[in-house]
Amino acid sequence: MSTLTTPRSARAGRELSDAVPMSRLLRVELRKLVDTRSGRWLLIAIGVLTAAVVTVFLFAAPPEELTYTNFVTATGTPQGVLLPILGILTVTSEWGQRTGLVTFTLEPKRGRVVVAKLLAVLLLGLLAVAVAFTLAAVGNALGAALQDGDGDWGFGLAGFRDILVLQLLGVLQGLALGMLIMNTAGAIVTYFALPAAGGILAGTVESFRRVAEWVDINTASIPLSAHETEAGDWGRLAVAALIWVVLPMTIGWFRLLHRELKSA
């Protein structure tokens, strides 16, 4: 009696064609961030607080300070705080809500799911920054019309670049810590506590102050916040990003690929 066998090349081709498209994985991850209560309210908070900061600055700042640069800088505060939390929730929600078993059963290649999460959080981060730029423009126009503000628009491409890098770096840092710790509360506390401790050391310990701009990501990001970046600043920021983004993301990626899945 003979049995029919499928050539290995044919099986491999069928498995490749049956793989979940990355576009579908990306849509699923975007829906997870929007459909869940935590993700939805976080996105709403980012939009509302950004608009609120622009409104407060419009009526509280002196007329000579009502410029597009200052409006954009004002929007950086709520977004700099909340966007990294969005990155954290992108990963930790799988483990906190016990949905990882379903996710990684439908797509066993966990690395592809991680890539989809990375793309999803970057897209939402870009959208949030675009909203900030738009609201800042509206605020600047209203400031000139209603408050006799300066109305200067001299921001420049370098300013857009600095803000974009700063906010997306925060999103990636949150994603990296979420992958490393895989617990929402623990990742959020770590995100705020460790850089704050580094800033305190930089301000009080003379020996640490000299290396803080290389190892403390908040210190290394100051030139971007002030829009005064030079060639050396990018090198120091790259080193700090290796420590605070690349290293935890690499370790977290390994943990995520090998962590045991539980349904309850």
DSSP string, 226-255: TT---HHHHHHHHHHHIIIIIHHHHHHHHH
Contact 72, 132 (CB under 8 A): yes
- Kindly list the averaged pLDDT for each block of 10 residues, start to end, along the chain of length 264: 48 52 90 84 92 94 93 90 91 72 78 91 93 95 92 87 92 93 90 80 73 84 83 89 94 86 57
pLDDT at 4: 47
pLDDT at 96: 61
pLDDT at 263: 52
Distance CA(253)–CA(234), nearest Å, equals: 26
Contact 74, 57 (CB under 8 A): yes
pLDDT at 261: 67
Distance CA(100)–CA(102), nearest Å, equals: 5
Distance CA(100)–CA(90), nearest Å, equals: 12
pLDDT at 218: 85
pLDDT at 1: 44
Contact 178, 91 (CB under 8 A): yes
- The domain locations on the chain are 20-258
Torsion over CA of 111, 113, 119 and 122, rounded to 10 degrees?
-100
pLDDT at 256: 85
The residue whose two tokens read 């930089």 is 202
- Work out the number of other CB atoms within 10 angstroms of the CB of residue 161: 13
